[in-house]
Amino acid sequence: MTLPGWLWAIPVFGLMIFAHELGHFLAAKFFGIRVHEFALGLGPAVAGFTRGETRYNLRAVPFGGFVRMAGMDPDDPEEPGGLYTKPLHARALTFLAGPLMNLLLASLMFSAYLYVQGVDVPVLGRVMADCGGQVCPAAASGLQPGDRVLSVGGSPVDSWTDIVERIAASEGAPLEVRFERGGRELSAVVTPAAVDGRYVIGARAPRSLWKALALGPAVTADGARTWAVWLWEAVTGRTEAQLTGPVGMTRAIAAQASAGLSNLLWVTGVLSLNLGLFNLLPIPALDGAHLLFMAVEAVRGRRLDPERVNMVHFVGFLLLMGLMLAVTCGDLRAGLLG
């Protein structure tokens, strides 16, 4: 893992936090809720500006952020445009918008990953000229973009993944590649080259922006289902809950950034998905708890005591900080021992 890989954690965390808080902010503005401050980071403000009724601040600690809306503090006067002067559905959607923006960001990151990786079909999308200072085997053998690969090394292929696996298994031995071009079946002998510890021929899968955009939400939905299953099994004791804090996530970002752009896109999507789903849990201080209290309010037909609700959120915040500290210590210990 390189130093630039570690530094990638800053924009990745910043992007996820910005997306989350932007969701709250845009929903608040849409429903006419006054926003006093939009902040990225925690601690003292180091830079900022005021536009209209809102102060936009960048704070010293680059983890976390918040949108401070009028009426959130029990001591705030019930001024027009305050959070609790708005209908229940408007307040609920304002709190729900943050996690939803994280899920949207995850979908976009997965789509970007799929676009960079290319469509998983046995067709050459790009044939490169240079492979680590030498002519790429695909170009040297006369392969061209658009060629549909039928078999590699005598084994039929049905996807780009099949092609990559056949090339990796060759360990540099010459392979016969049978392909279709312009309705004719042709063949070429390709000798994979070793580049950065893996065997390649210097060709990439075709890219499709629309297909990548269509598949991103499906990957997000599959990830959400997997996360829900994991949570249920952890709660019921069927599996051990392994939590990762900022240090562990930074280590994961650094490792994937060092491995390349596509890996960085994927890990950003996974982390944003987890952040959005985690915030939907009914734990005090999280958006899910706000939504739970609003559901109780809807059933009771009247608002809960604001001071008691704020006290529950405050206690929940302290417990979450304690959990984060414990997880961070565990991540540091694992890093030192590893």
Residue 235: the pLDDT is 84
95 and 287 Cβ atoms separated by less than 8 Å = yes
Q: Is CATH 3.90.79.10 the right assignment for the domain spanning 126-204?
A: no
The rounded distance, in Å, linking the Cα atoms of 116 and 261 is 8
pTM for the full predicted model = 0.82
What would the mean pLDDT of 187-214 be, rounded to a whole number?
A: 90
Structure tokens at 255: 């490792």
247-257 pLDDT, tens digit each? 778 888 888 88
Ordered DSSP codes for 91-139: HHHHHHHHHHHHHHHHHHHHHHHHHHH--SSSB--EE-SEETTEE-HHH
Statement: residue 338 has pLDDT above 60: no
The helix/strand/coil state of 9 is helix
73 and 18 Cβ atoms separated by less than 8 Å = no
Ordered DSSP codes for 74-90: TTS---TT-GGGS-HHH
Residue 298: the pLDDT is 92
Statement: residue 3 has pLDDT above 70: no
**CA 225 vs CA 5, 16, 132, 242: distances in Å:** 30, 20, 41, 18
The mean pLDDT value of the chain amounts to: 88
Residue 287 backbone zone (phi > 0: left; psi -120 to 50: alpha; other: beta) = alpha
Angle at 82 between CA 304 and CA 289, to 5 degrees: 40
The rounded distance, in Å, linking the Cα atoms of 149 and 178 is 6
Task: From the candidates 21, 78, 165, 240, give the one annotated as an active-site residue.
Answer: 21
Residue that has been written with the tokens 């902040």 in this structure: 39
107 and 100 Cβ atoms separated by less than 8 Å = no
111-132 pLDDT, tens digit each? 999 998 888 889 999 899 888 7
Statement: residue 336 has pLDDT above 70: no
CA terminus-to-terminus distance, the chain: 14
| Percentages of the chain per state (helix, strand, coil), in multiples of 5 | 55, 20, 25
What would the mean pLDDT of 152-177 be, rounded to a whole number?
A: 93
**What DSSP state is assigned to residue 169?**
H
Residue 196 backbone zone (phi > 0: left; psi -120 to 50: alpha; other: beta) = left
Neighbours of 333 (CB within 10 A): 11
155-166 pLDDT, tens digit each? 999 999 999 999
Structure tokens at 296: 């109780």
**CA 103 vs CA 20, 33, 80: distances in Å:** 9, 23, 32
Residue 308: the pLDDT is 85
Kind and range of the H or E run holding 120: none
217-246 pLDDT, tens digit each? 999 999 999 999 988 888 888 877 677 777
Residue that has been written with the tokens 């490169």 in this structure: 128
Residue 171 main-chain phi, psi, to 5 deg: 55, 35
21 catalytic per annotation: yes
Sequence spans of domains, the chain = 3-36+82-118+212-337, 126-204
The helix/strand/coil state of 131 is strand
Neighbours of 27 (CB within 10 A): 22
Residue 148: the pLDDT is 95
The rounded distance, in Å, linking the Cα atoms of 218 and 158 is 22
**What DSSP state is assigned to residue 271?**
H
Letter string b/e over residues 201-228, b meaning 16 or more CB atoms within 10 A of that residue's CB: bbbbbbebeebbbebbbebbeebbeebe
- Alpha helices (H) along 172-286: 209-235, 246-259, 261-279
